[in-house]
Amino acid sequence: MSKELDREVLKFLKDRRVTPTLEKMLRKIVSSNLVHILGRKNVSKIFGEEKIAVDEIFQDVLGTFWEKRSEILTRNIDNLTGYLVKSVENKIYDYARSRNRKKVLSLDSITDSKSEESTFLDVIQVEEEARRDPLEQILAEKNFEALRNLFSGKEKDLCDFFYKKLFSDEKANIFASGKTVQARYKSHERLAKRIRDFVMENGITEVEFSRITEIYVSEICEKIRQNSEK
Amino acid sequence: MGYLKRRLEFYKRTQKRIKSLKEGPKTTSIGLGDVICVWGDTGPIYGVVTEEGVVKNCILLSPELFLAGDGLLLRAKHLVNLLRVTPVNFYLTPSAQRACEVIGKLKQEDLTKVVENHQKLREENWTGVRKEFFEYETKRIEILYDMFLEFRKQNEQSESQTVTVRWDELKHLFEEKDLELIFRDVPVAQSSAVDLGKFLIVRTESGIRIIFSDELISKTGKVTLVGKIVYSGRIPPELFIAFENPPAVETLKNILNVDVEAE
């Protein structure tokens, strides 16, 4: 596939002709990357419809390559698939970030998209703005899914552990299901080890892990707690 | 398999190791704070120049925003729009610079932030997928490290072709009258080099370079100054005499000699 795609992109850069083959292949790459990077749920949340997202990114990527055609052609770059995939992926990240950000900012009516777009550099202070960065949120949701699958069937135990660490023993009691102190202690020890392994294997940072915990508490533990109270 | 692990597998399939760099028609001048794209055969390498010199030190910027950790984000206007600061660095040799395109420049204050962030990321204990990603990136751009090592090797070889002697260690050989000859006053307008056929004398701020012709190199001989031997043995491609205040070449051309033994 990549050899054919290379040929089609080169044809486009030389003749400015988007062949049906190029269109089909590039749209497929955009579409699969959208799902792969963001997940279907996020794609519809951010773009409304998957087709709109594919159209926008497809046009954007071709436009960018057209702008860089002289660099590509004079350097005789014939293996273009690597460049193309990288460009598609990065545009998806950027769309996800800017779309979501505009949505958040427009609620507060403090957006200044013109000045934001005109500056070359956009250094984002991780400490100050990480919470508002949609990419961090998307990644946290993905990691949350992985954590949920890993602890499937152990939700109550994990909530007991999180509530004990985050709040207090009293608040955690609702998840303990009458376990003895010793049984609870042993269970927490096992959970702590599995969580540590999960964090280490995935190379998750401290900030990322606290976000995953926040989602777990609100999506899983809160529901269990509300059901228990009923 | 976790999300990041799947993402890494996908990344490895689409971003292959770079085997050659794609040079442009002209060499671009690259300076401190420049954000660059090195055009590779299988994909781009993005970076920012943090130290100038013949070889430039750069911080790797990654367009893979999830795997590259939580470094600062930079906005770019290229095939990609966003780049993340990583804990990885690389070197740009003069020949690698021919494959570079400058795509932007950081202001000094932003460059400082990026360098500090890079240092912080280096001190972090990366594990699992993130660690594997940074290791893969280092492998992917290995060509740049190889070019740097090759450049250093060549440089060391050419350095070893120069024999250096210090005037401080030689001056005891000379009497007062010799010194008057060597450090004789000369007219202000003097040239910094003179070609005597068998060798070339070049005056620099820190000393005198004697560059020997090919016919003398490797032969056994001696270099004399006012008849006193300053070097003897195998004639190297270059002899450097380190002076605090080097004498004028106009003076040296009459008192410096090279004699080689007959074969």
Whether A112 and A134 map to the same domain: the answer is no
Confidence (pLDDT) at A227: 85
Going by DSSP bridges, is the β-strand pair B199-204/B193-195 parallel, antiparallel, or unpaired?
Answer: antiparallel
Q: Which residues of A fall within a CB distance of 8 Å from B70?
A: 126, 130, 136, 205, 207-208
Closest residue in chain B to residue A143, using alpha carbons only: B3
Mean pLDDT of B176-180: 90
Average pLDDT over residues A174-191: 86
Choosing from A118, A142, A165, the residue where a domain stops is: A118
Across A25-39, A89-103, B113-127, B210-224, least confident range: A89-103
Report H helices in A130-180.
134-150, 155-166, 169-176
Contacts of A83 in chain B (CB under 8 A): 43-44, 79
In a domain, A14, yes or no: yes
Among B30, B216, B64, B244, CA closest to A82: B64
More confident call, B105 vs B29 = B105
Are residues A13 and A77 located together in one domain of the fold?
Answer: yes
| Residues A11 and A35 occupy one common structural domain | yes
Task: Report CB contact under 8 Å: B64, A89.
Answer: yes
Q: How far is A121 from chain B (nearest CA, A)?
A: 5
Task: Please indicate, yes or no, whether residues A82 and A168 belong to a single structural domain of this protein.
Answer: no
Q: Starting from the edge strand earliest in sequence, which strands make up the sheet with B193-195, in order?
A: B162-166, B238-242, B207-212, B199-204, B193-195
Using pLDDT thresholds of 50, 70 and 90, give the confidence band for residue B223: very high
In angstroms, the CA B56 to CA B59 distance is 10
Average pLDDT of chain A to the nearest whole number: 82
Task: Report if residue A72 sits inside a domain.
Answer: yes
Residue A123: predicted pLDDT: 45
CB A91 within 8 A of CB B82: no
| Whether residues A135 and A213 fall in one domain | yes
Structural domain includes residue A141: yes
Closest-CA residue to B35 (of B23, B50, B53): B50
List pLDDT tens digits, range A58-97: 999 999 999 999 999 999 887 888 889 999 999 999 988 8
Lowest mean pLDDT among A113-127, A163-177, B84-98: A113-127
As a whole number, the mean pLDDT across chain B is: 90
| Residue B92 clears pLDDT 90, i.e. is over it | yes
Give how far B114 is from chain A: nearest CA, Å.
Answer: 9
Instruction: Tell me how far apart the terminal alpha carbons of chain B are, to the nearest angstrom.
Output: 75
The highest-confidence range among A61-65, A77-81, B203-207, B216-220, by mean pLDDT, is A61-65
Structural domain count, chain A: 2
Percent above pLDDT 90 for chain B: 57
Distances in whole angstroms, Cα of residue B62 to Cα of each of B35, B44, B80, B141, B153: 12, 10, 10, 12, 29
| A61: exposed, middle or buried (Cβ count in 10 Å: 0-12, 13-18, 19+) | buried
**B-proximal residues of A, 4-33, CB under 8 Å:** none
**A82/A76 Cα distance (integer angstroms):** 14
Do A8 and A111 fall into the same domain? yes
Which residue, of A118, A145, A177, is where some domain finishes? A118
d(CA B81, CA A91): 7
Q: B153 to chain A nearest CA, in Å?
A: 28
Q: Cα–Cα distance between B51 and B87 in angstroms, integer?
A: 16
Containing domain of residue A150, as a range?
Answer: 129-229
Q: Which residues sit opposite B260 in a β-bridge?
A: B221
Asked if residue A124 belongs to a domain, the reply is no
- pTM for this model (two decimals): 0.73
| A88 and A112 together in one domain | yes
Of A52-61, B82-91, B156-165, B178-187, the range with the lowest mean pLDDT is B156-165
Quick check: is A54 in a domain?
yes
Kindly state the DSSP code that residue A178 receives in the 8-state scheme: T
Report A:167-186 residues touching B (Cβ under 8 A): none
- Kindly state the helix (H) or strand (E) to which residue A82 belongs, with its residue range: helix A81-108
Distance from CA of B77 to the nearest CA of A (A): 7
Mean pLDDT computed over B107-120: 95
pLDDT in tens, A211-221: 999 999 999 99
Q: Measured between CB atoms, does A108 come within 8 Å of chain B? A: no
pLDDT at site A196:
93
The predicted model gives B114-136 an average pLDDT of 94
A190 & A224 share domain = yes
Residues A101 and A189 in one domain: no
Task: Assess contact for B95 and B64: CB atoms under 8 A.
Answer: no
Same structural domain, A136 and A176? yes
Contact call for residues B79 and B64 (beta carbons, < 8 A): no
Q: How distant is the alpha carbon of residue B164 from its chain centre?
A: 20
Q: In this structure, is residue A140 part of a structural domain?
A: yes
Pair (A28, A93) in one structural domain = yes
**Domain-located, residue A48:** yes
Using DSSP, state whether A76 is helix, strand or coil. Answer: coil
Structure tokens at A157: 């135990």
Nearest to A201 among B2, B43, B99 (CB): B2
pLDDT of residue B263: 64
Claim to verify: residue A62 and residue A142 sit in the same structural domain: no
Cα A102 to Cα B68: distance, rounded to the nearest angstrom: 24
What pLDDT is stored for residue B168 in this prediction?
Answer: 87
Domain assignment present for A146: yes
Q: Cβ distance B30 to B96 under 8 Å? A: no
DSSP code of residue B238 = E
Predicted confidence at residue A118, as pLDDT, reads 33
Phi first, then psi: give them for residue B98, nearest 5 degrees: -70, -15
Model confidence at A107, pLDDT cuts 50, 70, 90, reads very low
- Across the range A122-149, mean pLDDT stands at 71
Residue of A76, A82, A143 with shortest CB distance to B16 = A82
